[in-house]
């Protein structure tokens, strides 16, 4: 039986309606590029997919409006590059359009790490730990091609991509893998308690290591703060808007790259759906507000759950906070390089709080954030001693690249709130003002 033509046309209409429509506009806002995504299909995680694309291009989201009404959604982002400029590179704009249009971003890192062995580590952080980890890997003739290390509240999580030092092949010998894990568990054993070190060689694709690091630290319960830990400078509040059936999450903290990703990833991983939201920055400060529900449609229903959401969001924001002096290393790659560099840090009393290492061809490009052994600002003399050993032209002190953006004058009403209780001020503003602006944005000021 021949298929009726009108059914084919109907299916084409449904596909067109459900395919995200992407608009990238440099004319609307004088100091940022507007990226608008709208579609008739709002599946769980689609917002995070869009933010994935922006994050992978190192774009800063300085203002955003998020809205979904039934099955329709519209997300509007005001973005700049890492230097605070509009997007002018046609290849970047084309990548944005294609990736956001399909809703399936191509993750560059997954291609760079094909043919490598992924190693995951979690444990108790301490001075010299990273040096010992890299020393073990060098001794077992494992080359570290890429590495990402986060520390938070006395815990550490790493994802390392390895290959055999001699053959350049993945590590596929089970006995060798067992020996690597056994040696590293001994290094990571920490306090010998229930939160001692863990290692895992994984064969699954680690397309986005940042997401995986969040999962590792969340599973390690780094959000349970140590009694001696300093009070968090990140303000998070959660209130229920019973009239509309939403829980309203307000976050106020220092603005930084990838902040929006870290917050939305946490909410999504905790099985919440973001229905509406606003993101705004004022100088170095960021204010983010989200209207959320459980996947089953209900708001947060207990004080214990509300407290856990606050703790998890604070931890997610702080994990990537740039504590310490930023050191950038650019040097010809060689076996045992990371072991030698981190040993030099240790010998000069420096603690690595965060690190990103990568190799491209014969060159290694690494970034380290270092403090003294107590977690305080590193002694400049210690840093200069390290640079003398490694090479002043190879290891440089760099400030975090933070895009500069316009700073608004606070209104008297906002100033009078002083940050405390701002959720009450913003409660409902999304419906009355910001949602209206979604289709009528004339500037980002």
Examine residue 336 and state whether it is found in any structural domain, yes or no. Answer: yes
CA distance 357 to 212: 16
DSSP 221-279: TTTS--TTSPPPS-EEEEEEETTTTEEEEEEEEE--TTHHHHHHHHHHHTTEEEEEEEE
Which range is least confidently modeled, 109-123, 185-199, 375-389?
A: 185-199
Which range is least confidently modeled, 19-33, 178-192, 323-337?
A: 178-192
Examine residue 83 and state whether it is found in any structural domain, yes or no. Answer: no
Say how far residue 272 (Cα) sits from the centre of its chain.
18
Is the pLDDT at 18 greater than 60? The verdict is no
Which token pair is 71? Answer: 């099955």
Helix (H, G, I), strand (E, B) or coil at 149: strand
Examine residue 69 and state whether it is found in any structural domain, yes or no. Answer: no
User: Using 50, 70 and 90 to split pLDDT, how confident is the model at 205?
Assistant: low
Examine residue 178 and state whether it is found in any structural domain, yes or no. Answer: yes
Domain count, the chain: 1
pLDDT for the residue numbered 73: 82
User: Using 50, 70 and 90 to split pLDDT, how confident is the model at 411?
Assistant: very low
For 323-354, b where at least 16 C-beta lie within 10 A, e where not — what string?
bbbbbebebebeebbbbbbbbbbbebbbbbbb
The pTM assigned to this predicted structure is 0.83
Say how far residue 143 (Cα) sits from the centre of its chain.
25
Which token pair is 278? Answer: 């606003």
Is the pLDDT at 427 greater than 70? The verdict is no
What CATH number is given to the structural domain containing 136?
A: 3.30.70.260
Examine residue 384 and state whether it is found in any structural domain, yes or no. Answer: yes
User: Using 50, 70 and 90 to split pLDDT, how confident is the model at 203?
Assistant: low
Q: Print the domain residue range for 334.
A: 110-207+323-397
pLDDT for the residue numbered 41: 63
Nearest CA to 217 out of 130, 153, 309 is that of: 153
What are 348-361's pLDDT values in tens digits? 999 999 999 999 98
pLDDT for the residue numbered 101: 72
User: Using 50, 70 and 90 to split pLDDT, how confident is the model at 184?
Assistant: very high
Helix (H, G, I), strand (E, B) or coil at 136: helix
More reliable by pLDDT, 113 or 423: 113
* CA pseudo-torsion sign 394, 346, 350, 354: positive
pLDDT for the residue numbered 445: 45
Which token pair is 342? Answer: 């981190």
pLDDT for the residue numbered 425: 41
pLDDT for the residue numbered 12: 52
Examine residue 52 and state whether it is found in any structural domain, yes or no. Answer: no
Q: How many CA within 13 A on the CB side of residue 319?
A: 32
Helix (H, G, I), strand (E, B) or coil at 353: strand
CA distance 364 to 280: 36
CA distance 174 to 437: 58
Is the pLDDT at 30 greater than 50? The verdict is yes
Examine residue 294 and state whether it is found in any structural domain, yes or no. Answer: no
pLDDT for the residue numbered 443: 47
Examine residue 78 and state whether it is found in any structural domain, yes or no. Answer: no
Percent of the chain with pLDDT over 70: 76
């Amino acid at each position: 039986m021949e298929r009726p033509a009108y059914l084919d046309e109907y299916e084409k209409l449904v596909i067109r309606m459900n395919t995200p429509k992407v608009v990238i506009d440099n004319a609307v806002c004088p100091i940022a590029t507007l990226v608008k995504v709208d579609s008739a299909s709002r599946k769980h995680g689609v917002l995070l997919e869009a933010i994935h694309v922006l994050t992978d291009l190192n774009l800063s989201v300085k203002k955003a409006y998020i809205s979904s009404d039934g099955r329709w959604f519209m997300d509007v982002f005001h973005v700049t590059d890492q230097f605070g400029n509009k997007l002018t590179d046609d290849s970047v704009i084309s990548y944005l359009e294609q990736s956001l249009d399909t809703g399936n971003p191509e993750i560059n890192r997954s291609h760079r790490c094909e043919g490598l062995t992924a190693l995951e580590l979690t444990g108790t952080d301490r001075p010299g730990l990273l040096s010992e980890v890299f020393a073990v890997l060098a001794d077992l003739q494992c080359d570290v091609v890429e590495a990402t290390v986060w520390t938070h509240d006395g815990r550490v999580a790493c994802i390392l991509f390895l290959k055999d030092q001699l053959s350049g092949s993945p590590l596929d010998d089970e006995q060798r893998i067992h020996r690597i894990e056994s040696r590293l568990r001994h290094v990571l054993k920490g306090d010998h308690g229930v939160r001692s070190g863990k290692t895992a060689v994984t064969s699954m694709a680690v397309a986005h290591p940042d997401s995986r690091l969040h999962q590792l630290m969340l599973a390690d319960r780094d959000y349970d703060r140590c009694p001696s830990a300093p009070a968090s400078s990140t303000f998070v509040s959660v209130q229920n808007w019973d009239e509309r059936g939403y829980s309203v999450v307000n976050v106020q903290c220092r603005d930084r790259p990838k902040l929006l990703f870290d917050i939305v990833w946490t909410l999504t991983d905790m099985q919440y759906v973001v229905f509406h939201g606003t993101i705004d920055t004022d100088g170095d400060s960021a204010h983010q507000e989200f209207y959320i529900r459980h996947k089953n449609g209900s708001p947060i229903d207990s004080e214990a759950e509300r407290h856990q959401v606050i703790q998890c969001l604070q931890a997610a924001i702080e994990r990537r906070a740039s504590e310490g002096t930023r050191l950038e290393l650019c040097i010809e790659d060689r076996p045992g390089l990371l072991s030698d560099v981190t040993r030099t840090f240790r010998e000069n009393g420096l603690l690595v709080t965060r690190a990103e290492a990568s190799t491209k061809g014969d060159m290694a490009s690494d970034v380290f954030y270092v403090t003294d052994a107590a977690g305080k600002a590193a002694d400049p003399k210690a840093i200069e001693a390290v640079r003398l050993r490694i090479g002043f032209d190879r290891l440089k002190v760099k400030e975090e690249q933070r895009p500069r953006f316009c700073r608004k004058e606070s209104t008297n009403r906002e100033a009078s709130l002083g940050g405390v209780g701002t959720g009450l001020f913003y409660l409902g503003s999304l419906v009355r003002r910001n949602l209206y602006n979604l289709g009528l944005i004339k500037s980002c000021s």
